Structure 1
Amino acid sequence: MTGDRAVRVRRALPADAGTAADVWLRSFAAALPGVVRPRSDDEVHGYFRHVLVPLRETWVAEAAGGEVVGVMVLDGEELAQLYLAPEWRGRGIGDRFVALAKERSPEGLSLWTFQVNRSAHRFYERHGFAPVEWTDGSGNEEREPDVRYVWRP
Protein backbone atom coordinates (compact mmCIF):
# COMPACT_ATOMS: atom_id res chain seq x y z
CA MET A 1 0.00 0.00 0.00
CA THR A 2 1.14 3.51 -0.59
CA GLY A 3 1.91 5.67 2.38
CA ASP A 4 -0.46 8.33 3.58
CA ARG A 5 1.54 11.49 2.94
CA ALA A 6 -1.20 13.64 4.46
CA VAL A 7 0.14 12.36 7.77
CA ARG A 8 3.04 14.26 9.32
CA VAL A 9 5.49 12.51 11.65
CA ARG A 10 6.96 14.83 14.29
CA ARG A 11 8.34 14.89 17.81
CA ALA A 12 5.64 14.78 20.44
CA LEU A 13 4.89 17.91 22.42
CA PRO A 14 3.58 17.94 26.01
CA ALA A 15 0.12 18.74 24.63
CA ASP A 16 0.19 15.45 22.66
CA ALA A 17 0.50 13.20 25.72
CA GLY A 18 -3.24 12.68 26.17
CA THR A 19 -4.06 11.93 22.56
CA ALA A 20 -0.97 9.71 22.20
CA ALA A 21 -2.11 7.74 25.26
CA ASP A 22 -5.58 7.43 23.72
CA VAL A 23 -4.05 6.00 20.53
CA TRP A 24 -2.05 3.53 22.64
CA LEU A 25 -5.15 2.44 24.56
CA ARG A 26 -7.29 1.99 21.43
CA SER A 27 -4.54 0.18 19.55
CA PHE A 28 -3.72 -2.14 22.46
CA ALA A 29 -7.41 -3.05 22.86
CA ALA A 30 -7.82 -3.74 19.13
CA ALA A 31 -4.58 -5.67 18.56
CA LEU A 32 -4.37 -7.55 21.87
CA PRO A 33 -7.89 -8.24 23.09
CA GLY A 34 -6.81 -11.30 25.08
CA VAL A 35 -3.90 -9.62 26.88
CA VAL A 36 -4.66 -8.34 30.36
CA ARG A 37 -3.57 -4.72 30.76
CA PRO A 38 -2.08 -4.17 34.23
CA ARG A 39 -2.52 -0.37 34.19
CA SER A 40 -5.70 1.68 34.27
CA ASP A 41 -6.46 4.25 31.57
CA ASP A 42 -5.51 7.01 34.02
CA GLU A 43 -2.17 5.34 34.76
CA VAL A 44 -1.43 5.01 31.03
CA HIS A 45 -2.25 8.70 30.57
CA GLY A 46 0.02 9.62 33.47
CA TYR A 47 2.85 7.51 32.04
CA PHE A 48 2.62 9.33 28.71
CA ARG A 49 2.36 12.72 30.43
CA HIS A 50 5.13 12.28 33.02
CA VAL A 51 7.52 9.76 31.47
CA LEU A 52 7.23 9.04 27.76
CA VAL A 53 6.69 12.48 26.26
CA PRO A 54 9.05 14.47 28.51
CA LEU A 55 11.78 11.85 29.12
CA ARG A 56 11.88 9.58 26.05
CA GLU A 57 12.21 10.23 22.35
CA THR A 58 8.51 10.20 21.54
CA TRP A 59 7.15 10.75 18.04
CA VAL A 60 3.58 11.12 16.81
CA ALA A 61 1.88 10.74 13.46
CA GLU A 62 -0.49 13.64 12.95
CA ALA A 63 -3.25 13.55 10.34
CA ALA A 64 -4.50 16.61 8.53
CA GLY A 65 -6.51 18.61 11.04
CA GLY A 66 -4.14 17.79 13.88
CA GLU A 67 -5.49 14.39 14.97
CA VAL A 68 -2.76 12.18 16.47
CA VAL A 69 -3.13 8.76 14.80
CA GLY A 70 0.11 7.04 15.81
CA VAL A 71 2.83 7.06 18.45
CA MET A 72 6.38 5.72 18.55
CA VAL A 73 8.77 5.82 21.49
CA LEU A 74 12.51 5.26 21.23
CA ASP A 75 14.65 4.64 24.29
CA GLY A 76 18.24 4.44 23.11
CA GLU A 77 18.47 1.42 20.81
CA GLU A 78 15.08 0.12 21.94
CA LEU A 79 11.96 0.70 19.90
CA ALA A 80 9.87 0.83 23.08
CA GLN A 81 6.41 1.61 21.65
CA LEU A 82 4.81 1.68 18.20
CA TYR A 83 1.03 1.94 18.14
CA LEU A 84 -1.41 3.19 15.49
CA ALA A 85 -5.06 4.08 15.77
CA PRO A 86 -6.81 0.94 14.47
CA GLU A 87 -8.47 2.71 11.55
CA TRP A 88 -5.06 4.06 10.41
CA ARG A 89 -3.30 0.70 10.13
CA GLY A 90 -2.17 -0.40 6.68
CA ARG A 91 -1.50 3.12 5.37
CA GLY A 92 2.30 3.11 5.62
CA ILE A 93 2.55 5.06 8.86
CA GLY A 94 4.16 2.15 10.72
CA ASP A 95 6.66 1.81 7.85
CA ARG A 96 7.55 5.49 8.21
CA PHE A 97 7.99 5.09 11.97
CA VAL A 98 10.33 2.11 11.52
CA ALA A 99 12.36 3.95 8.87
CA LEU A 100 12.70 6.88 11.28
CA ALA A 101 13.70 4.56 14.14
CA LYS A 102 16.42 3.00 11.95
CA GLU A 103 17.63 6.47 10.96
CA ARG A 104 17.77 7.55 14.62
CA SER A 105 19.53 4.34 15.69
CA PRO A 106 21.66 3.31 12.70
CA GLU A 107 23.72 0.77 14.69
CA GLY A 108 20.63 -1.32 15.38
CA LEU A 109 17.39 -1.65 17.26
CA SER A 110 15.64 -4.11 19.51
CA LEU A 111 12.03 -4.42 20.63
CA TRP A 112 9.66 -6.70 22.49
CA THR A 113 6.26 -7.82 21.30
CA PHE A 114 3.84 -10.39 22.61
CA GLN A 115 3.94 -13.87 21.11
CA VAL A 116 0.20 -13.69 20.38
CA ASN A 117 0.68 -10.56 18.24
CA ARG A 118 1.31 -12.36 14.94
CA SER A 119 0.61 -9.28 12.84
CA ALA A 120 3.40 -7.44 14.68
CA HIS A 121 5.75 -10.37 14.02
CA ARG A 122 5.01 -10.19 10.28
CA PHE A 123 5.39 -6.40 10.27
CA TYR A 124 8.77 -6.36 12.04
CA GLU A 125 10.14 -9.33 10.09
CA ARG A 126 9.19 -7.53 6.86
CA HIS A 127 11.38 -4.66 8.11
CA GLY A 128 14.40 -6.89 8.71
CA PHE A 129 13.95 -7.63 12.41
CA ALA A 130 14.72 -11.18 13.55
CA PRO A 131 13.38 -12.95 16.66
CA VAL A 132 16.21 -13.73 19.09
CA GLU A 133 14.58 -14.53 22.43
CA TRP A 134 11.27 -15.96 23.61
CA THR A 135 10.08 -15.74 27.22
CA ASP A 136 7.24 -17.08 29.32
CA GLY A 137 6.16 -13.53 30.19
CA SER A 138 7.42 -13.58 33.77
CA GLY A 139 9.52 -10.47 33.03
CA ASN A 140 6.71 -8.20 31.86
CA GLU A 141 3.82 -6.56 33.71
CA GLU A 142 1.19 -8.33 31.65
CA ARG A 143 2.67 -11.78 32.44
CA GLU A 144 2.18 -12.55 28.75
CA PRO A 145 4.74 -14.62 26.77
CA ASP A 146 6.77 -12.31 24.58
CA VAL A 147 9.50 -12.29 21.97
CA ARG A 148 12.47 -9.99 21.51
CA TYR A 149 13.30 -8.84 17.99
CA VAL A 150 16.58 -7.30 16.83
CA TRP A 151 17.51 -5.38 13.69
CA ARG A 152 21.13 -4.87 12.71
CA PRO A 153 22.11 -3.02 9.53
Structure 2
Amino acid sequence: MSNDDVLLRRARDADQRAAADVWLRSYAAALPTVRCAHDERSVRDWFARVLVPQYETWVAHTGNGVVGLLVLKGAELKQLYLDPDWRGRGLGDRFMALAKQQQPDGLSLWTFQVNAPARRFYQRHGFTEAERTDGQRNDEHEPDVRYVWQPKT
Protein backbone atom coordinates (compact mmCIF):
# COMPACT_ATOMS: atom_id res chain seq x y z
CA MET A 1 0.00 0.00 0.00
CA SER A 2 1.36 3.42 -0.88
CA ASN A 3 1.36 6.64 1.10
CA ASP A 4 -1.24 7.97 -1.37
CA ASP A 5 -3.71 5.36 -0.11
CA VAL A 6 -3.54 6.73 3.45
CA LEU A 7 -6.26 9.08 4.68
CA LEU A 8 -5.38 11.69 7.31
CA ARG A 9 -8.43 12.49 9.41
CA ARG A 10 -9.45 13.58 12.88
CA ALA A 11 -9.43 10.72 15.35
CA ARG A 12 -12.75 9.29 16.47
CA ASP A 13 -13.54 7.53 19.71
CA ALA A 14 -13.34 4.24 17.83
CA ASP A 15 -9.68 5.01 16.93
CA GLN A 16 -8.47 5.25 20.53
CA ARG A 17 -7.21 1.68 20.91
CA ALA A 18 -5.62 1.48 17.45
CA ALA A 19 -3.88 4.84 17.95
CA ALA A 20 -2.56 3.69 21.34
CA ASP A 21 -1.31 0.48 19.67
CA VAL A 22 0.62 2.54 17.10
CA TRP A 23 2.07 4.72 19.88
CA LEU A 24 3.20 1.67 21.86
CA ARG A 25 4.78 -0.08 18.83
CA SER A 26 6.45 3.08 17.62
CA TYR A 27 7.82 4.01 21.05
CA ALA A 28 9.30 0.54 21.51
CA ALA A 29 10.91 0.59 18.04
CA ALA A 30 12.16 4.19 18.02
CA LEU A 31 13.23 4.52 21.66
CA PRO A 32 14.59 1.13 22.76
CA THR A 33 16.91 2.71 25.34
CA VAL A 34 14.27 4.96 26.92
CA ARG A 35 12.20 3.51 29.74
CA CYS A 36 8.50 4.02 29.03
CA ALA A 37 7.15 5.67 32.18
CA HIS A 38 3.64 4.26 31.71
CA ASP A 39 2.37 0.73 31.30
CA GLU A 40 0.22 -0.34 28.37
CA ARG A 41 -3.04 0.08 30.28
CA SER A 42 -2.13 3.63 31.31
CA VAL A 43 -1.22 4.56 27.73
CA ARG A 44 -4.58 3.25 26.48
CA ASP A 45 -6.39 5.16 29.22
CA TRP A 46 -4.47 8.35 28.31
CA PHE A 47 -5.62 8.02 24.70
CA ALA A 48 -9.22 7.39 25.76
CA ARG A 49 -9.51 10.11 28.42
CA VAL A 50 -7.12 12.83 27.19
CA LEU A 51 -5.61 12.66 23.71
CA VAL A 52 -8.59 11.79 21.54
CA PRO A 53 -11.39 13.64 23.39
CA GLN A 54 -9.47 16.73 24.58
CA TYR A 55 -6.69 17.41 22.07
CA GLU A 56 -6.61 17.83 18.31
CA THR A 57 -5.73 14.25 17.44
CA TRP A 58 -5.31 13.11 13.84
CA VAL A 59 -4.78 9.58 12.56
CA ALA A 60 -3.40 8.14 9.36
CA HIS A 61 -5.86 5.47 8.31
CA THR A 62 -5.57 2.75 5.69
CA GLY A 63 -8.03 0.05 4.79
CA ASN A 64 -6.23 -2.04 7.41
CA GLY A 65 -6.49 0.50 10.24
CA VAL A 66 -4.50 3.25 11.92
CA VAL A 67 -0.82 3.53 10.94
CA GLY A 68 0.12 6.91 12.45
CA LEU A 69 -0.99 9.72 14.70
CA LEU A 70 -0.45 13.42 15.26
CA VAL A 71 -1.57 15.25 18.40
CA LEU A 72 -1.69 19.03 18.66
CA LYS A 73 -2.52 21.07 21.74
CA GLY A 74 -2.75 24.55 20.31
CA ALA A 75 0.68 25.44 18.94
CA GLU A 76 2.37 22.52 20.68
CA LEU A 77 2.97 19.36 18.70
CA LYS A 78 2.46 16.82 21.50
CA GLN A 79 2.79 13.51 19.64
CA LEU A 80 3.88 12.31 16.22
CA TYR A 81 4.19 8.55 15.96
CA LEU A 82 4.17 6.21 12.97
CA ASP A 83 3.81 2.47 12.85
CA PRO A 84 7.38 1.20 12.37
CA ASP A 85 6.46 -0.31 8.98
CA TRP A 86 5.39 3.16 7.80
CA ARG A 87 8.55 5.09 8.70
CA GLY A 88 10.49 6.51 5.75
CA ARG A 89 7.50 6.46 3.38
CA GLY A 90 6.51 10.14 3.47
CA LEU A 91 3.73 9.84 6.02
CA GLY A 92 5.61 11.93 8.59
CA ASP A 93 6.04 14.65 5.96
CA ARG A 94 2.28 14.66 5.38
CA PHE A 95 1.61 14.95 9.10
CA MET A 96 4.10 17.79 9.39
CA ALA A 97 2.42 19.68 6.53
CA LEU A 98 -0.91 19.17 8.29
CA ALA A 99 0.47 20.45 11.61
CA LYS A 100 1.83 23.58 9.93
CA GLN A 101 -1.48 24.10 8.13
CA GLN A 102 -3.36 23.82 11.43
CA GLN A 103 -0.92 26.13 13.27
CA PRO A 104 0.41 28.52 10.59
CA ASP A 105 1.81 30.97 13.16
CA GLY A 106 4.28 28.46 14.53
CA LEU A 107 4.77 25.23 16.44
CA SER A 108 6.88 23.92 19.28
CA LEU A 109 7.63 20.39 20.46
CA TRP A 110 9.81 18.31 22.75
CA THR A 111 11.74 15.19 21.80
CA PHE A 112 14.34 13.13 23.58
CA GLN A 113 17.97 14.02 22.90
CA VAL A 114 18.75 10.35 22.11
CA ASN A 115 16.12 10.30 19.33
CA ALA A 116 18.47 11.33 16.54
CA PRO A 117 16.12 10.30 13.68
CA ALA A 118 13.29 12.46 15.08
CA ARG A 119 15.65 15.38 15.64
CA ARG A 120 16.88 15.17 12.02
CA PHE A 121 13.26 14.95 10.82
CA TYR A 122 12.22 18.09 12.73
CA GLN A 123 15.32 20.01 11.63
CA ARG A 124 14.62 19.04 8.02
CA HIS A 125 11.16 20.55 8.47
CA GLY A 126 12.53 23.90 9.62
CA PHE A 127 12.47 23.43 13.39
CA THR A 128 15.32 24.96 15.36
CA GLU A 129 16.59 23.97 18.77
CA ALA A 130 15.41 26.34 21.50
CA GLU A 131 16.21 24.59 24.78
CA ARG A 132 17.76 21.46 26.28
CA THR A 133 16.98 19.98 29.67
CA ASP A 134 18.28 17.18 31.85
CA GLY A 135 14.88 15.47 31.64
CA GLN A 136 13.77 16.08 35.20
CA ARG A 137 10.52 17.63 33.96
CA ASN A 138 9.40 14.68 31.83
CA ASP A 139 7.96 11.41 33.09
CA GLU A 140 10.84 9.35 31.71
CA HIS A 141 13.54 11.58 33.28
CA GLU A 142 15.29 11.47 29.90
CA PRO A 143 17.28 14.48 28.63
CA ASP A 144 15.17 16.26 26.05
CA VAL A 145 15.27 19.10 23.58
CA ARG A 146 12.63 21.66 22.65
CA TYR A 147 12.26 22.68 19.02
CA VAL A 148 10.34 25.58 17.51
CA TRP A 149 9.15 26.33 14.00
CA GLN A 150 8.23 29.81 12.85
CA PRO A 151 6.97 30.48 9.33
CA LYS A 152 9.20 32.56 7.13
CA THR A 153 7.92 36.12 6.87
TM-score (norm 1): 0.96
> Displacement, 1:46?
0.3
Deviation string 1:2-45 (CA, Å, 9 cap, x unpaired) is x7110010000000000000000000000000101110100000
- Which secondary structure does the structure 2 equivalent of 1:5 belong to? helix
Aligned to 2:75: 77
> Displacement, 1:66?
4.1
> Displaced runs of 4+ in structure 1, greater than 4 A?
none
Counterparts of 1:122 and 1:98 in 2: how far apart (Å)? 13
Letter in 2 for 1:60: V
Letter in 2 for 1:83: Y
Aligned to 2:138: 140
Aligned to 1:92: 90
Gaps of 5+ in 2: none
Deviation string 1:107-150 (CA, Å, 9 cap, x unpaired) is 00000000000000110000000011000000100000000000
Gaps of 5+ in 1: none
Counterparts of 2:64 and 2:72 in 1: how far apart (Å)? 22
TM-score (norm 2): 0.96
Aligned to 2:127: 129
Counterparts of 2:132 and 2:87 in 1: how far apart (Å)? 26
Counterparts of 2:84 and 2:129 in 1: how far apart (Å)? 25
Counterparts of 1:44 and 1:121 in 2: how far apart (Å)? 23
What value does the CA root-mean-square deviation take over the aligned residues? 0.8
Deviation string 1:87-119 (CA, Å, 9 cap, x unpaired) is 011111110101000010010000000000000
Aligned to 1:19: 18
Counterparts of 1:26 and 1:66 in 2: how far apart (Å)? 16
Counterparts of 2:92 and 2:145 in 1: how far apart (Å)? 19
Counterparts of 2:68 and 2:37 in 1: how far apart (Å)? 22
Q: 1:45 and 2:44 equivalent?
A: yes
Letter in 1 for 2:25: R
